[in-house]
Chains A and B, each alone.
Chain A
Amino acid sequence: MRTFGIALLAIITRETLRYVGQRERFLAALVRPLVWLLVFAAGFRAALGLSIIPPYQTYITYETYIVPGLCGMILLFNGMQTSLSLVYDREMGSMKVLLTAPLPRGWLLFCKLVASTLISTLQAYTFLAIAWLFEIRLDLWGYIAVFPALCISGLMLGALGLAISSQVKQLENFAGVMNFVIFPMFFLSSALYPLWKMAEAGEVLFWICTINPFTHAVELIRFALYLEINLAALGWTSLSLGVFLALALYGYDPARGITRDGK
């Protein structure tokens, strides 16, 4: 067990060192949700009327509504960033070093996932701290209660990134992931507007939003911030985590090869 722990620590240290060396990545990850919060939200507030829906007890501002969705956005983008860095690792060969270590492959991939989730969670907290400075404040306990929600959601989105990275064989194909994964997942969710608004727009769209795992990750975060557990969201997010992990393990099965041409 000790060797498992040593490997986990080493992988977290490596990812953190690499992350610290990429300050622009940290800034980009923060600027994106802040632009939504401080610029788009101002415009959307006028266009969108929000009714009182759980977990909110009263009318809230639009900025307050989208904070959990923007935390989810950070986790989503970071999950895909992890995926991108895995494809990069594979192109650069450092993935081979990882996968030829004498430890179960599932554990090595899980360590990668934990490392990226910790970084995502740290980013989400930085965003919440900045939002606090802009007077979007929550109960202090909410900031603590949201930690497991951020971790589970981060793991789920990271696992999705891992599964995608096993299929994307070249770095150049990554733009497709942006178009076909990140944007639909983000916009077809409850991150920017409540689902009842989506129901007004159309049944099919509503249905897609309802099964979108990202919707449930956002709702899990939203309820946790208000000290409530949304069991349906927790179940759906955990189930998605299991499915994406299984896909990732299948994708990194040595019988399928890990590099271009299977070499």
Chain B
Amino acid sequence: MSGLRVQNLSHSYGAKQALKDVGFEIERGRFCALLGPNGAGKSTLYAILTGLLLPNNGTIEIADTLLHETPLRALAKMGIVFQQTTLDLDLSVRQNLRYFAALHGFAGKAADIRIDAALDRLGMLERAGEKVRALNGGHKRRTEIARALLHEPEVLLLDEPTVGLDSQTRIAITEHVHRLCTEVGLTVLWATHLTDEVRPTDELILLHKGEILERGIAAQICGALPLAEVFMRKVGQPI
């Protein structure tokens, strides 16, 4: 079954083509890494996948729901972690999550139960009352991931979620999201330019200058070579 399907996606800003005929499919419960340098078109792809930008061409299916036909139903199936922090710094962790839960139709006790469970999963429950401003980068990211999972989405989209974090926090967050794929069947699209976040068994898409250069299982694409080197050979520049 398909978790996320993208077909013939193209978009340009004026004369500048940001995405050229991008197409891929991720099965349910799979972790797919989207690897590309800055300017590859990752952010444009995420803006389109999340309905913030309408593409010139192409279709997107989120867990069998067409984004352009029923955008609200598709958005309800989607959890999103944006590249930059999107939390209200002056509100507490719980206040931030309550706000988000309400935007997805959960209030009162039902929301609190979900919030407690999501924070607990990410080891953030004891910080629920703290102002976001007081949290470090890793804890902010965990809060955002907890928030993105509050409404139990079928597809999780993360745009460079580990940028600026120390390696220990990066490993912990990457592992947690991988676990969600196997445990609850979450479909994940994880944009990154850090090759060590990709596991050999992950799906992998190499994006460069708005085009898909390669896609498949990471181990099959890389063979015996490290991913960074494969990228270097394909693109002609280091990631």
Contacts and interface: CB of A to CB of B under 8 A. Distances in A.
Interface string B70-95: 00110110101010111110110001
Contacts of A93: 82, 84-86
B82 A96 contact: yes
A89 B105 CA distance: 22
Interface residues of B, number: 33
A114 to B, nearest CB: 15
Interface in A209-262: 254-255, 257-259, 261-262
B99 A14 contact: yes
Given A18-B90, A96-B82, A261 B13 contact: yes
Given A14-B91, A101-B75, A101-B103, A254 B51 contact: yes
A98 interface: yes
B81 to A, nearest CB: 11
Given A6-B106, A14-B99, A102-B104, 10 more contacts: A6-B105, A10-B102, A14-B88, A14-B95, A92-B86, A98-B103, A102-B72, A102-B75, A254-B51, A258-B52
A103 B103 contact: yes
Nearest to A111: B103
Interface in B88-118: 88, 90-91, 95, 98-100, 102-107
16 contacts: A6-B105, A6-B107, A7-B102, A7-B103, A10-B102, A18-B91, A100-B50, A100-B51, A100-B75, A100-B80, A101-B75, A102-B73, A255-B54, A259-B47, A262-B13, A263-B43
A3 B105 contact: yes
Interface of B: 13, 43-44, 47, 50-54, 72-73, 75-76, 78, 80, 82, 84-88, 90-91, 95, 98-100, 102-107
Given A6-B107, A103-B72, A263-B44, A94 B50 contact: no
A18 B132 CA distance: 13
B80 to A, nearest CB: 6
Contacts of A11: 99
Nearest to B102: A10
Instruction: Count chain B CB atoms within 10 A of each CB in A2, A10, A261 and give the residue with the most.
Output: A10
A254 B50 CA distance: 10
A97 B100 contact: yes
B103 A21 contact: no
A105 B73 CA distance: 13
B76 A102 contact: yes
Nearest to A261: B13
Contacts of B88: 14, 18, 94
Nearest to A108: B103
A2 B104 CA distance: 11
Interface string A14-41: 1001100100000000000000000000
A130 B79 CA distance: 48
A61 interface: no
A257 B44 CA distance: 10
Contacts of A3: 105
B86 A96 contact: yes
B50 A96 contact: yes
Contacts of B73: 102
A11 B53 CA distance: 23
Given A14-B91, A17-B91, A93-B82, A100 B52 contact: yes
